[in-house]
Structure 1
Amino acid sequence: MAYSDSAPSVPLRWNFSQVLGQQLPSEPLQNDDIITTVAFEKRGDYLAVGDRGGRIVIFERDDRNTNVSSNRRDLEQRDFALRHPKFRYKTEFQSHEPEVKEYKVKHVKEMAPPLCSENMLLAERSFVPGLETTSAANGYRLEWIEKTPQNHLPPQDVDSEIGGIENPFRSKCQKVYASAHSFNINSISNNSDYETFVSADDLRINLWNLEVSDQCFNIIDMKPSNMEDLTEVITSAEFHPLHCNLLAYSSSQGLIRLSDLRHAAICDHASRIFQHRESNGSKSFFTEITSSISDIKFLNDGQHLLSRNYMNMKLWDMRRESSPVAIFKIHEHLRPKLRELYNNDCIFDKFGCCFSGDGLHFASGSYSNLLRIFSPGSGREEGIKLEIRGNSDRKAIHQAMPRARRSSLSNIIPRGIYQHAHVDSESHNVDFPCNESSKLLQVAWHPTCNLVACAAESSLVLYYA
């Protein structure tokens, strides 16, 4: 099921599930341990986490008992008992060595079958411009090994066992897609053709074949002949989930461009451009910074696109370019503090976004480790904030006011700055706290159930509904 203007949605009640990698109170937080990306495997059986130290940690679903009998009654009881997935540590590997502190894993993507093993991952890394090393996307495959003592293992060149004799896995680097970017890679995206993927940096987007690691095709190049004329950079790129020829990418100017790879080898002219022109209100020095899009994601139906900038999250209908169909205000209460946020560099924080498998609920993070979840079709315009802590007795904090149900989002707010858009109008009335030192940048929604994973510094906190 996917989002529609009149799609009914049941309000969700959120509860704490578990915390993975909880830090002890006396344990100092290491910069390399801070989580920088979170992603579920397409079936939801695995959860991958990347950190600033270049590590990829994989968790597997732990709530399924393989010893349960297969008769119908036992299966029904088992299904009744499992309200939400639980995860446990499975293995980890080093994507790359953090030679300098700016190295970090920024995205992880499952490599698409059938050409690759289902346990293969793409991991992109960022680096410091000016160094001789280049950024790369590495393909890793997890393999079973016998539980032999560590001193009897064969010499480790490319292969490496992780976790000692208790961990029956090793990571094997299959390919290194190298020497193709001169700037930080900000996103990678698999294509629905199961053969190609793209990697994007600030100025270029390259198209790769999964089987060819030494050659790529530059399909988008925004680098001007004179770098002093640079006014816009690429911030994120995403393939369409259904049509392998369509690619969307966002920019620092708040634009989302949709390109058709069939039109030309160099997609320098977008087929469609999605831009919301907020005409009302005075523009300031900070307007361009806050309008920069940090994340975009296609919904599963392929008809809608979710985007996140510093101030809010927007839902776009692919058939309408001029304005989004829904706007969820997240940081409007911070508008008077933009100068302060600029001085401490918080205004440049990149918040991610995610959506439920049915396309009816949307989530993104904020400061003070708050998770904002929106369900526009539930008959309530609500923003739910969850206080991310590490203890199981913490409950979800709801801030919502009941409102009359609307039959269609196109009838909501027919005038003003957010014309033709559904807006979470209650959120600006709530006095949300703002602790800039604790920020929830990375969130991921389980593909088949209402389970959200939130990266709070070095811990991964899961909530279910």
Structure 2
Amino acid sequence: MEDPSGSGGWRFAQCFGDKGDVEDITEADIISTVEFDATGNYLATGDKGGRVVLFERNEAKKGCEYKFYTEFQSHEPEFDYLKSLEIEEKINKIKWCKRQNSAHFLLSTNDKTIKLWKVFEKSLRVVSESNHFDGQHPIAAPSSLSHLRLPRMTQQDNIIAAVPRKVYSNAHAYHIHSISVNSDQETYISADDLRINLWNLNTSDQSFNIVDIKPVNMEELTEVITATEFHPTQCNLFMYSSSKSNIKLADMRDSALCDRHAKCFEEEEDPTTRSFFSEIISSISDVKFSHDGRYILSRDYLSLKIWDINMESRPIKTIPIHDHLRGKLCDLYENDCIFDKFECIWGGDDKHVLTGSYHNYFRIYDTDTLNDVVLQADKSAFKAKKIGGPLPGVKPAMKNGPRPGGLRDAMQLETLDFNKKILHASWHPRENTIAIAATNNLFLYSAA
């Protein structure tokens, strides 16, 4: 049956954050990463102000809705006196560790320092009676030894505490852009532009350099590492993408230094379409393994690609995201938007993929049919929900007459706001619920 709204059954569920206009937003409030945990019951966001905010599933509600759980300051601004460099507090990535007990553990990183946080519930106890007080009431001091009483403690409140259990620092000369926890839950990797380091979660003062692409002479530098991720089930495999439009799969059983990759996924460029911008727009901004580890999803500036792990020569699917921007590359280069790093994510069932675009549009594709749904994380979504109206762009008729293409046509209009962009998102591991970071707001959408 044709979906008349074009929304693919997706509906706006919730929005967290300040609903003010983009112009009033303070830089520190802009969300820089979002991540569901392995159960989907918890959701974390990090922002440019160095804060981590956790949300917990609200069991009182029927749908998949969340409520505020806790917030803590993960990173502070620092200054590197040797290099005269300011180190931002911005959270670049958050990764959850699988839950072993009642506490949560998660890794968060800024440009230089990774921290392992333990988040747990703690009961506050207070002295309820002593030799001078009975509860809040003062009493006369005991007159003899036999009247002496041991102070009694009672539980007053439950609080959620966050403490840094490990701080992993001074291992990267360049800015850390990726971290990935291994399936063995004992190790993780962190990557900057030229190196990938392997850490043991329990050892903060030592890491092993497993990829190093730094040339002896920096003038000969031709590529940088852009993203990295461990294989979801095989703890010896990881991949990393580069600005040269390739993805390398490495096997840690081969050698201690994985500069010699096991596989390289790369598509030959068509020389007839080459332009000044080719190298910039072909740089891969994000890579993700499917949950079963069989496929790789990669995102470059204009497209999504799905690779079969057994076929290196070309992707099995190439999905154009915003082809209408090809004619605007000069303008996008001028305003630096051409360097925006869009993330890509798999749905929990590996049958759908999601990535963002400008003007707060994002697209969900069916990996078999490549049918897509275009949605917009916009203030009008929760305004419409309040007054019981339809979702933005979902109604078939607009003021100017019918618009059957809905948001797909609107995406291609000249009036795109390049300050509004969906760079970060996360998909619930077991349900069709997605979390979208739109500037300083967190949007949640659900589908049946």
The match for 2:92 is 106
Once residues 45 and 387 of structure 1 are traced to their aligned partners in structure 2, the CA distance between those partners, rounded to angstroms, is: 22
Aligned counterpart for 2:304 among listed residues 307, 313, 334: 313
- Please report how far the alpha carbon of residue 124 of structure 1 lies from its aligned counterpart in structure 2 after TM superposition: 0.9
Distance 1:258 1:118, change over 3 A: farther
Aligned counterpart for 2:44 among listed residues 44, 48, 66: 48
Q: Are the equivalent residues in 2 in contact too, given 1:60–1:88 (CA < 8 A)?
A: yes
Aligned counterpart for 1:37 among listed residues 33, 36, 42: 33
Q: Are the equivalent residues in 2 in contact too, given 1:112–1:118 (CA < 8 A)?
A: no
1:459 lines up with 2:434 in the alignment = no
Q: Are the equivalent residues in 1 in contact too, given 2:38–2:98 (CA < 8 A)?
A: no
The match for 2:133 is none
- Equivalent residue runs for 1:231-310 within 5 Å: 231-279=222-270, 281-310=272-301
The match for 1:57 is 53
The match for 1:176 is 167
- Equivalent residue runs for 1:217-228 within 5 Å: 217-228=208-219
Aligned counterpart for 2:122 among listed residues 129, 145, 154: 145
Any idea what the Cα deviations from partners look like across 1:19-75, whole Å, max 9, x if unmatched?
Answer: 01133459931101100000001110000000001111000001x14xxxxxxxxxx
**Secondary structure of the structure 2 residue equivalent to 1:213:** coil
The match for 2:110 is 125
Once residues 22 and 364 of structure 2 are traced to their aligned partners in structure 1, the CA distance between those partners, rounded to angstroms, is: 32
- Please report how far the alpha carbon of residue 382 of structure 1 lies from its aligned counterpart in structure 2 after TM superposition: 2.8
The match for 1:85 is 64
Q: Are the equivalent residues in 2 in contact too, given 1:187–1:237 (CA < 8 A)?
A: yes
- Please report how far the alpha carbon of residue 279 of structure 1 lies from its aligned counterpart in structure 2 after TM superposition: 1.4
- The one-letter code of the counterpart of 1:219 is I
Distance 1:398 1:124, change over 3 A: same
- Please report how far the alpha carbon of residue 282 of structure 1 lies from its aligned counterpart in structure 2 after TM superposition: 2.1
Percent sequence identity over aligned pairs: 43
Once residues 396 and 362 of structure 1 are traced to their aligned partners in structure 2, the CA distance between those partners, rounded to angstroms, is: 22
Q: Are the equivalent residues in 2 in contact too, given 1:144–1:168 (CA < 8 A)?
A: yes
Q: Are the equivalent residues in 2 in contact too, given 1:205–1:218 (CA < 8 A)?
A: yes
Once residues 23 and 322 of structure 2 are traced to their aligned partners in structure 1, the CA distance between those partners, rounded to angstroms, is: 32
Once residues 240 and 192 of structure 1 are traced to their aligned partners in structure 2, the CA distance between those partners, rounded to angstroms, is: 7
- The one-letter code of the counterpart of 2:240 is Y
Q: How many corresponding residue pairs?
A: 388
Aligned counterpart for 2:74 among listed residues 92, 95, 116: 95
Distance 1:124 1:33, change over 3 A: same
Q: Which moved more, 1:137-146 or 1:453-462?
A: 137-146
Please give the TM-score of this superposition, normalised by the length of structure 1. 0.78
Distance 1:430 1:32, change over 3 A: closer
Distance 1:118 1:236, change over 3 A: farther
Once residues 55 and 218 of structure 2 are traced to their aligned partners in structure 1, the CA distance between those partners, rounded to angstroms, is: 43
- Please report how far the alpha carbon of residue 427 of structure 1 lies from its aligned counterpart in structure 2 after TM superposition: 6.7
1:431 lines up with 2:431 in the alignment = no
1:382 lines up with 2:363 in the alignment = no
Q: Which moved more, 1:102-111 or 1:288-297?
A: 102-111
**Secondary structure of the structure 2 residue equivalent to 1:185:** coil
**Secondary structure of the structure 2 residue equivalent to 1:384:** strand
Q: Are the equivalent residues in 2 in contact too, given 1:136–1:179 (CA < 8 A)?
A: yes
Once residues 343 and 102 of structure 1 are traced to their aligned partners in structure 2, the CA distance between those partners, rounded to angstroms, is: 25
1:136 lines up with 2:121 in the alignment = no
Please give the TM-score of this superposition, normalised by the length of structure 2. 0.81
**Secondary structure of the structure 2 residue equivalent to 1:395:** coil
- Please report how far the alpha carbon of residue 193 of structure 1 lies from its aligned counterpart in structure 2 after TM superposition: 1.4
Distance 1:376 1:265, change over 3 A: closer
**Secondary structure of the structure 1 residue equivalent to 2:24:** coil
Q: Are the equivalent residues in 1 in contact too, given 2:122–2:160 (CA < 8 A)?
A: yes
Any idea what the Cα deviations from partners look like across 1:354-374, whole Å, max 9, x if unmatched?
Answer: 121111111111100001111
Q: Are the equivalent residues in 1 in contact too, given 2:8–2:373 (CA < 8 A)?
A: no
- Please report how far the alpha carbon of residue 327 of structure 1 lies from its aligned counterpart in structure 2 after TM superposition: 1.5
Distance 1:348 1:214, change over 3 A: same
**Secondary structure of the structure 2 residue equivalent to 1:145:** strand
- Equivalent residue runs for 1:364-383 within 5 Å: 364-377=355-368, 381-383=371-373
Q: Are the equivalent residues in 1 in contact too, given 2:361–2:374 (CA < 8 A)?
A: no
The match for 2:315 is 324
Q: Are the equivalent residues in 2 in contact too, given 1:137–1:176 (CA < 8 A)?
A: yes
Aligned counterpart for 1:395 among listed residues 379, 382, 391: 391
The match for 2:130 is none
- The one-letter code of the counterpart of 1:212 is T
**Secondary structure of the structure 2 residue equivalent to 1:23:** coil
The match for 1:17 is 13
- The one-letter code of the counterpart of 1:91 is T
Any idea what the Cα deviations from partners look like across 1:62-91, whole Å, max 9, x if unmatched?
Answer: 1x14xxxxxxxxxxxxxxx83x31001110
Once residues 35 and 166 of structure 1 are traced to their aligned partners in structure 2, the CA distance between those partners, rounded to angstroms, is: 31
The match for 2:194 is 203
Aligned counterpart for 1:342 among listed residues 329, 333, 343: 333
Distance 1:212 1:102, change over 3 A: closer
Distance 1:194 1:105, change over 3 A: same
Once residues 188 and 26 of structure 1 are traced to their aligned partners in structure 2, the CA distance between those partners, rounded to angstroms, is: 30
Distance 1:166 1:29, change over 3 A: farther
Q: Are the equivalent residues in 1 in contact too, given 2:356–2:363 (CA < 8 A)?
A: yes
Once residues 399 and 321 of structure 1 are traced to their aligned partners in structure 2, the CA distance between those partners, rounded to angstroms, is: 43
- Please report how far the alpha carbon of residue 452 of structure 1 lies from its aligned counterpart in structure 2 after TM superposition: 1.1
Q: Are the equivalent residues in 2 in contact too, given 1:187–1:199 (CA < 8 A)?
A: yes
Q: Are the equivalent residues in 2 in contact too, given 1:184–1:201 (CA < 8 A)?
A: yes
Larger strand proportion of the pair: 2
Q: Which moved more, 1:170-179 or 1:139-148?
A: 139-148
